[in-house]
């Protein structure tokens, strides 16, 4: 979620090539409108904003940190633990630094698939600090609202992060700091497995085996296998590895759109076949609640991520489940997607320097407290692979990856991972439309693949911004 394309197209301009065009650097006064709704909305073009319409706050005023981990009254103990990690972090900063920070809770649906964040930036009311997914990086970088964090980072931090920073960098500068790495895998119900006479020896390694088992395990009330059904960046994130496994991609290393390929078509076809034959449902089981879906007997296998390990432990500690690597197509190579959120600072806010300093202090320092903070997030508050080598090693030494499930994620699933790509909204939306049309409406796979590729090629001919790869 591999790099081998099949078809050449006009190259996407790199950040260097675009330097002489009308795309402005992140700190320039001319900024682009950050529209393009993730999920159900259409992706719109990006007209420029007027000069001087940054966040309307006085320098030194309380900084706003938008996030989706509060409030702490969630019924899920894991979510409460994650919210506490954030409040403890802000309390510590506020006790030793100025300006102070206020956590602002945005419901996760509004944050990830809504217009609230891009609209806030477009109207000059964006937060000082915010969380950003890799998939949405270019929307905000090209819009000029990501502060350069590099000057605030301790020596050695970039090397400590390694490749986890690649998709958050432009021209050697860091614009977002990952707090986690989240690989995808297949989760399955051990009780359902055993009642069907299956054992670990029956874990599928190919797509055909996976769909065959899903067909065997499905009932009138239980899905055999579940893939993400709702359109959005998350659905794209979960779909990419199926394309990558066959050697396909969206953009090759030269910037050419190579989406119209056999690997893309077979990945779309596999999801379409799963729906058409009743193996996978047309809507997410249990309204997308993975833990509830398994506990309620609504699903036998579900493609999801490492973050659910913490929720199983906190919310369903007695539930028996397992995980396995994503199966591969004939002749394919294992790969999974590595996601994870990052800390970002608003380059256009009145407190941009302090906001950038906070991000570096929180998770971008070589000091023990910064490293330990990431360890606590990845193995205590949540269940993730730490994106920094020091934090991963320290977390492992503390036993954070000793359990059967976490060890499998760290040692077997994570090593075959590829970072979630950073595509601008128009490219993301073309892919999303192809997934939705083929998966849920039965549209012709070849036609939708071609349509999406042509749409992306037309867009990238005039694209001006940071490199898509």
Look at residue 58 in the predicted model and tell me its pLDDT: 60
**Burial category of 442 from C-beta neighbours within 10 Å (exposed 0-12, middle 13-18, buried 19 and up):** exposed
CB 330 within 8 A of CB 120: no
Kindly list the distances between the CA atom of residue 11 and the CA atoms of 18, 253, 254, in Å, as whole numbers in the listed order. Answer: 12, 10, 6
Question: What is the block-wise mean pLDDT of the chain (469 residues), using blocks of 10 residues?
Answer: 30 31 28 33 32 48 93 78 95 97 92 87 95 94 97 98 96 98 98 96 98 98 98 95 98 96 98 98 96 97 97 93 98 97 96 98 98 98 97 98 97 96 96 98 98 98 94
Query: What is the number of residues in the chain?
Result: 469
Number of CB atoms found within 10 A of residue 40's CB: 12
Alpha-carbon span 149 to 86, nearest angstrom:
20
Q: What is the DSSP letter of 282?
A: S
Alpha-carbon span 124 to 13, nearest angstrom:
28
Six-digit token pair at 329?
């197509």
Q: Measuring CA to CA, which residue among 421, 430, 450 is closest to residue 237?
A: 421
Pick 17-181+339-419's CATH classification: 3.40.50.300, 3.40.50.720, 3.40.190.10, 3.30.565.10. Answer: 3.40.190.10
Beta-strand pair 173-174/177-178: unpaired
Look at residue 55 in the predicted model and tell me its pLDDT: 42
Q: What is the DSSP letter of 105?
A: E
Which helix (DSSP H) or strand (DSSP E) does residue 188 occupy? strand 182-189
Six-digit token pair at 444?
């012709």
Look at residue 435 in the predicted model and tell me its pLDDT: 98
Instruction: Report residue 363: phi and psi, to 5°.
Output: -140, 15
CB 175 within 8 A of CB 290: no
Six-digit token pair at 140?
């905000």
Q: What is the pTM of this model?
A: 0.87
Six-digit token pair at 307?
């973050």
For 310, residues 6+ apart whose C-beta sits below 8 A from its C-beta are 78, 81, 381, 382, 383
Which CATH code for domain 183-338+424-461?
3.40.190.10
HSE-up (13 A, CA, CB side) for residue 303: 27
Alpha-carbon span 140 to 136, nearest angstrom:
7
Which helix (DSSP H) or strand (DSSP E) does residue 268 occupy? helix 262-276
For 287, residues 6+ apart whose C-beta sits below 8 A from its C-beta are none
Alpha-carbon span 155 to 443, nearest angstrom:
52
Helices (H), 97-230: 108-113, 116-122, 137-142, 157-161, 190-195, 207-217
- Specify the domain boundaries for CATH 3.40.190.10 within the chain: 17-181+339-419, 183-338+424-461
Alpha-carbon span 123 to 310, nearest angstrom:
37
Look at residue 6 in the predicted model and tell me its pLDDT: 32
**Burial category of 140 from C-beta neighbours within 10 Å (exposed 0-12, middle 13-18, buried 19 and up):** buried
Look at residue 306 in the predicted model and tell me its pLDDT: 98
């Amino acid at each position: 979620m591999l790099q081998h394309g099949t078809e050449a197209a006009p190259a996407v301009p790199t950040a260097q090539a675009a330097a002489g065009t009308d795309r402005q650097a992140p700190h320039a006064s001319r900024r682009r409108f950050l529209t393009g709704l993730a999920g159900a909305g259409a992706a719109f073009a990006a007209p420029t904003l007027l000069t001087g319409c940054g966040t309307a706050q006085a320098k030194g005023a309380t900084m706003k940190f938008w996030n989706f981990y509060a409030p702490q009254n969630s019924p899920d103990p894991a979510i409460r633990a994650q919210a506490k990690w954030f409040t403890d972090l802000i309390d510590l900063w506020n006790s030793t630094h100025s300006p102070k920070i206020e956590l602002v809770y945005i419901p996760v649906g509004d944050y990830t698939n809504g217009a609230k964040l891009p609209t806030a930036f477009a109207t000059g009311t964006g937060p000082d600090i915010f969380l950003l997914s890799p998939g949405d990086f270019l929307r905000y970088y090209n819009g000029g609202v990501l502060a350069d964090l590099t000057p605030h980072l301790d020596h050695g931090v970039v090397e400590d992060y390694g490749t986890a920073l690649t998709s958050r960098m432009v021209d050697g500068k860091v614009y977002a700091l990952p707090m986690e790495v989240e690989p995808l895998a297949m989760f399955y119900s051990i009780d359902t497995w055993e009642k069907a006479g299956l054992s670990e020896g029956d874990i599928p390694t190919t797509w055909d085996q996976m769909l065959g088992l899903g067909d065997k395990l499905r009932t009138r009330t239980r899905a055999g296998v579940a893939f993400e059904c709702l359109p959005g960046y998350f659905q794209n994130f979960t779909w990419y590895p199926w394309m990558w496994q066959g050697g396909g991609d969206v953009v090759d290393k030269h910037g050419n759109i190579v989406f119209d390929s056999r690997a893309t078509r077979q990945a779309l076809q596999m999801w379409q076949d799963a729906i058409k034959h009743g193996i996978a449902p047309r809507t997410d089981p249990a309204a997308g609640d993975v833990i509830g879906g398994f506990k309620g007997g609504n699903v036998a296998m579900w493609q999801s991520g490492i973050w659910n390990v913490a929720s199983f432990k906190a919310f369903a500690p007695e539930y028996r489940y397992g995980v396995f690597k994503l199966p591969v197509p004939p002749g394919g190579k294992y790969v999974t997607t590595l996601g994870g959120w990052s800390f970002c600072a608003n380059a256009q806010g009145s407190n941009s320097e302090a906001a950038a300093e906070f991000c570096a202090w929180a998770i971008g320092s070589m000091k023990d407290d910064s490293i330990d903070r990431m360890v606590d997030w990845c193995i205590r508050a949540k269940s993730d692979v730490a994106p920094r080598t020091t934090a991963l090693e320290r977390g492992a030494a503390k036993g954070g990856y000793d359990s059967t499930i976490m060890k499998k994620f760290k040692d077997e699933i994570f090593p075959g991972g590829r970072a979630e790509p950073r595509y601008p909204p128009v490219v993301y939306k073309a892919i999303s439309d192809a997934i939705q049309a083929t998966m849920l409406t039965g549209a012709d796979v070849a036609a939708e693949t071609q349509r999406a590729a042509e749409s992306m090629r037309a867009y990238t001919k005039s694209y001006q911004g940071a490199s898509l790869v």
